[in-house]
Structure 1
């Protein structure tokens, strides 16, 4: 049931933590937003709405306009789990987002992060 706890976390409570993480490494809120837009298909207004509505991760991804078809190219380890081996679809999306933010914080180029 650990997954259930993660699914119920509000996106708006984690979003500032993503921003803090990347800002400590010299990246910006705009960079975080860019990877979120790329992964989920949200735009400025859509993301702001989700934050204002205080939705949980399950709703955040369920309401996403479109998960980027290149998201399946996101590989590697995050939180001790190999992303490409995660079977639960929602947990995989959450870990994709975690991995993108982690890559931002590690200084990877936006081109590599967005699998261009």
Structure 2
């Protein structure tokens, strides 16, 4: 995939506000976004805030995640023109899983469907 090499170095603290804007434009809440992030990573809200305050990149963010949800492999679909289940790099796949969940939330899917 093109430009994959940049994804691990992207700052979670810079992407998080973009996620908030995306979901809020579609009448979803930051709390729902945090619930999605917690479901995927195992981070609490406090730990998400700490990741933001420490200005960690996605590589560190996912390395420090308590536990990737066992159902994360059920996340399927296309993000940025690529099927998430076909991404070979494990870190890039995790970031794209998060992107896909945020997209589903913003598109109005019910939370129980987003959180498989």
The offset of 1:6, in angstroms, is 1.4
Q: Higher mean Cα deviation, 85-94 or 2-11?
A: 2-11
1:42 corresponds to: 43
Provide TM-score, normalisation by structure 2: 0.97
2:55 corresponds to: 54
C-alpha RMSD of matched pairs (Å): 0.9
Query: Does 1:97 pair with 2:61?
Result: no
Structure 1: gaps (5+ residues): none
1:13-32 to 2 correspondence within 5 Å?
13-32=14-33
| Partner secondary structure for residue 60 of structure 2 | helix
Structure 1 residues 10-49: Cα deviation after superposition (integer angstroms, max 9, x where no partner):
0000000000001000000001100000000000121111
Matches of 1:45 and 1:106, distance apart in 2: 26
2:66 corresponds to: 65
Matches of 2:28 and 2:96, distance apart in 1: 20
Matches of 1:82 and 1:4, distance apart in 2: 17
1:81 corresponds to: 82
1:33 corresponds to: 34
Provide TM-score, normalisation by structure 1: 0.97
| Partner secondary structure for residue 104 of structure 1 | helix
Matches of 1:6 and 1:86, distance apart in 2: 13
Q: How many residues align?
A: 115
Matches of 1:80 and 1:4, distance apart in 2: 17
